[in-house]
A = this chain, B = another copy of it.
């Protein structure tokens, strides 16, 4: 038999303090022993589907072709919300059909989408509270070891999609919003750098009027001062050199941010 070397990533809100993530890994390795498991994060704020969707979107492009991405942020676990497995041109996605996969899927070429309903692939009896272990880990292992996605359950023509908030053009620039606040208080927005922006003449203005010049790196401004940067996901983020922009400027997901371009 061909030794398949495959990767499964995990993005959950299970935290690391209990045995939940480790147990999912045990189930995956029991069913597909050669898997390399990569934790994206287990610290998505509990039940925060948008933050989970963002973390998956920001990371998945950097994993190799063939990777199985498993994301479980699932406040409706145990209820009748469907479970989803998707095959794209590059990789696989597995998780609850509540939008957590949708931002990552929006930039992929989808080849197949199936509801996960095949009880024979699940860990029996399926618990009411831990589908990460009983439903999603087994199907991820199935896909990682080369099993067909059509065995998961019936094909579906669509799935839950979270809206990606598009910035709106204004008289002097763009109106956007904060999408994600990272653990250091950097506030990632939905704003991209305007093409040909001369960096020194672009700034982000927060809802409270704080002006954050677009700079090339954190230490471009004195410690404690706000700035804007083109972050690692190509989106502009508001930061404070050596501090927390979220705390200092009162930024949370959804906070409005304006991008203003002024003459040099």
Interface residues of A (CB under 8 A from B): 5, 7, 9, 11, 15-19, 21-23, 25-27, 29-30, 33-34, 36, 38-43, 46-47, 55-56, 58-59, 62-64, 67, 75-79, 123, 127-130, 133-134, 182-184, 216-220, 229-232, 234, 237, 242
Q: What is the predominant secondary structure among interface residues of chain A facing chain B? A: loop
Docked Cα-Cα span, A38 to B22, in Å, equals 6
User: Which residues from B are CB-within-8-Å of A229?
Assistant: 78, 128-129
Q: In the complex the two chains form, is B75's CB within 8 Å of A129's CB? A: no
The winner among A33, A41, A58, A123 for most chain B CB atoms within 10 A is A41
Q: Would you mind naming 28 contact pairs between A and B with Cβ atoms under 8 Å apart?
A: A9-B22, A9-B26, A11-B19, A11-B22, A16-B41, A17-B43, A17-B182, A18-B43, A18-B183, A22-B38, A23-B59, A27-B62, A29-B38, A30-B62, A46-B184, A75-B218, A76-B219, A77-B218, A78-B216, A79-B220, A127-B232, A128-B230, A129-B217, A129-B229, A129-B232, A129-B237, A133-B232, A134-B232
